[in-house]
Structure 1
């Protein structure tokens, strides 16, 4: 019988940093428990399960202080910063994930070590590959020992197994998102066996195996831990626990990803961005519907942009965002952290050091992403507005920052924006100045347009603290330490958007499923209403492909700078197209007498090679039949 060194945590919850736990393969004489002891009672068993929560990787916190978690066309880091994985991605060097210490995808932590789930700093915890493999093994250990849970009530046994089934699927999904097809591992290997789990021929095969586990989890998990007898021990501190809503959300996400063009075409030529697996998409719709039915009870859709701030950063230190009444959008995230340096680095990632006064190197928001996605106040994209097909043109080439989507002003700093007006903020820092002195960029840069600052003409401030119009500035308004900003893995708006996407490809824009009352068009209009935009134009709704473009644009704006973009442009099969591959800046002078788009980098991206990370070479040599990803 196996022995385990286990941290017995009587439901410490996940409110504070560093859910304390220890590697389950470690053994120490003072804390050895047999498998019978681990699974003999609920507290021990839950303590074992809790270690899986600590293996959930926080993309936004897991880098070095040189923050970067945005890998898509939405962000740019200077080519001189080759230690950053996003720069290596731009060069097509995806294999750099293996040795990169400063990215959530790195094999080792920033010290070159395996990472410890005990550490308060997420950057010192296991990254995606190692954490997922450990998580899968832990989940299988729990499921293997289900017959030992004789000392648990039926409800307690169900919730232990429900979490294990969820995590087995979740950790497989984490690997699948980046590496693609992967064997679905359902047993515990002891090191002496011949590993014979074959890599499936299609992504769908693995996704359907995960779907079964999500279904098993849904059967066993509660709607709300606070309402259950085993949850009373930590009443009010159960945020972050896996629930039915969590499992339904990930069940739908797993199916939608499997239905998406990249996975549907299975790396074959002729990929079409508008072609999905409609059967899997319809299954995803029904899963998302079960989450949306909980809007108004377990969850609540943020009603306005002011309330929305509590979903991103406007909550006190050491608490979860996304739980405030009226904006309770949190469905699942990595454990919240109390390590101040980590949260400060994350919240100030889009703002340069000389403003934020942090050790963080600014990741610059790209002009191409902002131009193509943050449209106009009339609800149209800039491209559609300029075409005048849907009404009078409102875009002004002599002032590209005017008449824009309200979310542009909420989440983007542009030239001449005011950082603050307080006397304690030095005058030269109150106004954002991002101009360059001449079209060829040969003159002196503007106040904050320099190395390690905005390299593009913009800054993103989605997670950047502000009180009554006064933004954080380390030179005069040092408020950032009061708040806890963090990236949420899945929140309610994300589910609405995935539901609309899956529904549109399976039934069209105007047809509701039997499982929920809203159409895809109604969902998009609900989100636009919150932002202060008019409904989507009927002519756009009537064109299936055009509506999909608009749906994706809405997703791009709503989830901007939340770390979803790279996955989205890959699964849609568009990452190799010019619009998504070429990153640009916006050049202009102090007087705004000209505005000029200029190329920063033309990312190396070929389909299908640069759509999947390559496996480390030794992973493909365990047994015959584990093929490497295409092109590597």
Structure 2
């Protein structure tokens, strides 16, 4: 069995049970009539697209992969003490081996499961994981690309659609693995099942160049909108998740920006600075995308701030898929109500909800939410005359996204009736020190509650997570706001100024950030932050932290910026204070507090090795050219 496993990994880089077209034992007794020749399988669009569709099944739904699920591994989030099995706890302990199911049978959940499947149980979210699905998807994409010549009964448009999808997925799966593990073998052909295969690990930049070629070719082959193609009209109205030109351009830009970021550039060249050439390439890809979007030829646009929540959840809309017009890349979903089994209950303290384990924003991360006038808060314990921040009224005049994302002390949480008179005080969020929402085991350890992905009514009294309310939660991989902010970073670092821009796109780095702020009702970037990268980059990073908060980006951002091991990014804190003055039931932001301070809950002890996750020992022991990441 051991020999068979190693042989399969060498030849396919996927688990034995998932190898496509492999001759494993369970297929030996199948009826001859079930065999389909390659000529038949790939001859026309319908058949080939059926083959290609399974690749969508390999996009892991990270936000609903388990009953409760962890995907924020930076300094942004901490759980209550009711459970310690999620990867976030292993990250805090420096145990990055914990992403692997071999270590405790659980792994990181969506990154590695002990029982991986794809087509055999497509509706089982518990058996989907990045590591296995990516290698499986890469092989499947290569099989498809190797058989394009067999697609003889098809128009050129149909051939382009199939080939574009296959190229995109090959690049995307490699890119996702590279984010966490660095340069890997870039597999762009069907590996044989026999023979000595010794594919070396490439530099990150070498992998990124190959992924870029796939993304660029995909973008050139794919349409902006499948509904406007002849094949797409056959599935009109059901094409929103199909890979298109905008998705390919988005990941072309992200792939280049990641390659140009300090961590990846250091892995490739030894320099801990941005690679300006990769940043310029990223800006060009993002600029091409944004130019198309702003011209109105794509179905994508920023949602209004009143509908901001629709990026992440819908309610009362018959299980409509979240994302609205802003989500660029999402995977398929199999049961919209899956999110109500756990995700909808993992944020609200037990005193007003169900389930013990809770995920709460750290106080130090909430500090990134500045003031409505666009200025940051230098120190939440001290008054700041420039921004207008007052530590006696710490919730007043904050960035509007603070109020849409975060529940703070005194917010009216329960809207309807509370039958038990003893529980009446829990109508308002008691997040002051020792308040009823502050139980460390089943409530908020930090003094804040997250509502970005759920309405406040997702509690046991208002019962928004009941079947009849159709609450559907799904966090997208990428949305348009992310593209604007990545463009801003690429233009800034590629062209050396906040006024930097791609020559073929009209907006500067500063303009792109202000578009996102304007949507949220926040004033533009203050002039004191403009100019050179050293001035603008910290404010751009703060904007990224706020706009994309808790969407799974922070851990990788800190890593690629080489900030993961540095204070204050290693700290997780709570906010402590006492209520004072008259309690305002109408507007909690007007409530005053006393003795405001922050207390460190934990400090993560990281070293340079923690910038990359360790590869599996069974894989790095296959041959010397497939080496382990440094320090592991």
Q: TM-score range by the shorter chain?
A: 0.7 to 0.9
Q: Which residue of 2 aligns with 1:280?
A: 278
Q: Does 1:180 pair with 2:170? A: no
Higher mean displacement: 586-595 or 248-257:
586-595
With the length of structure 1 as denominator, give the TM-score of the two structures.
0.87
- Decide whether aligned partners of structure 1 residues 107 and 472 sit closer, same or farther in structure 2, where only a CA change above 3 A counts: closer
C-alpha distance in structure 2 between counterparts of 1:81 and 1:498, whole Å? 35
Query: What CA RMSD, in Å, does the superposition of the two structures yield over aligned residues?
Result: 2.4
Are 2:422 and 1:432 aligned? no
Q: Are the structure 2 counterparts of residues 46 and 126 from structure 1 closer, same or farther at C-alpha, using a change threshold of 3 Å?
A: same
Aligned-pair CA distance for 1:386: 8.9
Corresponding position: 1:459 with 2:459: no
- Asked whether the equivalents of residues 347 and 449 of structure 2 are also in contact (C-alpha less than 8 Å), the reply is yes
Deviation at 1:67, TM superposition (A): 2.2
Is 1:381 paired with 2:376? Answer: yes
- Any idea what SS the aligned residue of 1:54 has? helix
- Confirm or deny: 8 A CA contact 1:496 1:523 kept in the other structure: yes
Maintained 8 Å contact 1:356/1:474: yes
Return the offset for 1:312.
1.8
Contact preservation (8 Å) 2:79, 2:357: no
- Cα shift readout 1:225-281 (whole Å, capped 9, x = no counterpart): 11111111210011110000010000000000000010011188773xxx3101011
Please name the residue that 1:42 is paired with: 45
The CA deviation at 1:143 is 0.7
User: Which moves more between the two structures, 340-349 or 126-135?
Assistant: 340-349
Instruction: Note closer, same or farther for the CA distance 1:380–1:265 as it changes in structure 2 (3 Å cut).
Output: same
Q: How does 1:98-177 map to 2 (within 5 A)?
A: 98-99=100-101, 101=106, 103-108=108-113, 112-119=114-121, 123-177=125-179
Q: Which residue of 2 aligns with 1:535?
A: 524
1:574 maps to 2:563: yes
Match of residue 408, structure 2, among 382, 393, 414: 414
Q: Which runs of 5+ in 1 are unaligned?
A: 1-20, 438-444
- The answer to which of 86-95 and 616-625 deviates more is 616-625
Q: Determine the structure 2 residue equivalent to 1:398.
A: 392
| Gap runs ≥5 in structure 2 | 1-17, 581-592
Report deviation, 1:23. 6.0
Separation in 2, partners of 1:117, 1:602: 42
Match of 1:307 in 2: 307
Shift in alpha-carbon separation, 1:251–1:268, aligned structure 2, 3 A: closer
- 1:368 deviates by 1.0
CA distance 1:567–1:422, change in 2 (3 Å):
same
Deviation at 1:153, TM superposition (A): 1.5
Question: Which residue in the other structure is 1:520 paired with?
Answer: 509
Shift of 1:130: 0.3
Tell me by how many angstroms 1:106 deviates: 4.1
1:210-609 aligned at under 5 Å gives the runs 210-266=211-267, 271=272, 275-295=273-293, 296-302=296-302, 304-314=304-314, 316-323=317-324, 328-357=325-354, 359=355, 361-371=357-367, 373-383=368-378, 392-423=386-417, 427-437=424-434, 446-465=436-455, 471-479=457-465, 481=467, 482-507=470-495, 508-591=497-580, 592-607=593-608, 609=609
Structure 1 match to 2:586: none
- The Cα of 1:206 is off from its aligned counterpart by 0.4
Structure 1 stretch 595-604 or stretch 293-302: which is displaced more?
293-302
Contact 1:198-1:625 within 8 A present in 2 as well: yes
1:7 corresponds to which residue? none
The 2-side partners of 1:384 and 1:435 are apart by 19
| Cα distance, 1:23–1:352 mapped onto 2, change above 3 Å | farther
Distance 1:342 1:472 in 2: 12
| 1:284-334 C-alpha deviation (Å, 9 max, x unpaired) | 1111112112323324433532121222213524432223xxxx1121111
SS in 1 for 2:574: strand
Deviation at 1:115, TM superposition (A): 3.0
- Residue from 58, 65, 68 that aligns with 1:66: 68
Counterpart-to-counterpart distance in 2, 1:342 and 1:312: 11
Cα deviation for residue 395 of structure 1 reads: 1.7
Indicate the residue corresponding to 2:588 in structure 1. Answer: none
Relative to structure 1, is the Cα distance of residues 429 and 294 closer, same or farther in structure 2, using a 3 angstrom cutoff? farther
TM-superposed deviation, 1:361: 2.3
Is the contact made by 1:240 and 1:332 (CA closer than 8 Å) also made in structure 2?
yes
Whole-angstrom CA distance in 2 between matches of 1:420 and 1:355: 8
| CA drift at 1:133 | 0.4
In structure 2, the residue matched to 1:18 is none
Instruction: Return closer, same or farther for 1:293/1:22 CA change in 2, 3 Å cut-off.
Output: farther
Deviation at 1:544, TM superposition (A): 2.3
CA offsets per residue over residues 527-569 of structure 1, 9 Å max, x none?
1111111111111113421211111111111111111111111
Cα distance in structure 2, aligned partners of 1:488 and 1:622: 35
